[in-house]
Chain A
Amino acid sequence: QKEVEQDPGPLSVPEGAIVSLNCTYSNSAFQYFMWYRQYSRKGPELLMYTYSSGNKEDGRFTAQVDKSSKYISLFIRDSQPSDSATYLCAMSGWSSSASKIIFGSGTRLSIRP
């Protein structure tokens, strides 16, 4: 079983739609959960960051973590063409030293005008 699984898409939705992106994971040691956005040929850019279970909202973006199910989600409301990118879920475990991030394979999202 892969450590982090993410549907690669592509996912295409009309402008204004609500987008739901998801990942599952197998390692119960993960404590920190992130969503990165990556435009073509660019580096990952941090969008959302949550610790442990629960919801976090930032503007049009909501991140959800369900540790009991080992499932995380990112919701994008009122999606815009500029949201078209690859979205990477990512996670890391508890550590007092420099910690590696484990990434999902990314979901390619396209918002149609």
Chain B
Amino acid sequence: EPEVTQTPSHQVTQMGQEVILRCVPISNHLYFYWYRQILGQKVEFLVSFYNNEISEKSEIFDDQFSVERPDGSNFTLKIRSTKLEDSAMYFCASSSLAGASETQYFGPGTRLLVL
């Protein structure tokens, strides 16, 4: 069964460093998402992406964050200058079609720890 994959599974970084989290969405999917989950809190939407453009972003997704689809398979989330409060689990998701009716499939997540 096709699945979303994410690398690395764990990342530890120093405050102020840049990190890039990588995702390989399901191959025929066209819509991509990033969510995050701070320990003990709810899963929160960060950004959605389609046709090489951001479709929607949340208030959390400020200028420190960026997303990119550098090739036909990868989808990345970059945090330019990490802060302690960026420590969280980051989930990538993808869906085949647009619209709220389309199921989003989630990856296993990257656990980011900022020291």
A residues adjacent to B (C-beta < 8 A) = 31-32, 36, 41-46, 49, 51, 88, 92-106
- Give Cα distance in the complex from A31 to B101, angstroms: 9
- Please classify the interface of chain B as helix (H, G, I), strand (E, B), loop, or mixed, using the class held by over half of its residues: strand
B residues adjacent to A (C-beta < 8 A) = 4, 31-33, 35, 41-45, 48-50, 55-56, 58, 89, 91, 95, 98-109, 111
Could you name 13 residue pairs across A and B whose Cβ atoms are closer than 8 Å?
A: A32-B100, A32-B101, A41-B89, A44-B91, A92-B100, A96-B98, A98-B32, A98-B95, A98-B98, A99-B48, A101-B35, A101-B104, A104-B42
Supply 4 further A-B pairs (C-beta < 8 A) apart from A42-B108, A42-B109. A32-B101, A95-B99, A99-B100, A104-B42
**Chain A-chain B contacts (Cβ-Cβ < 8 Å), number:** 74
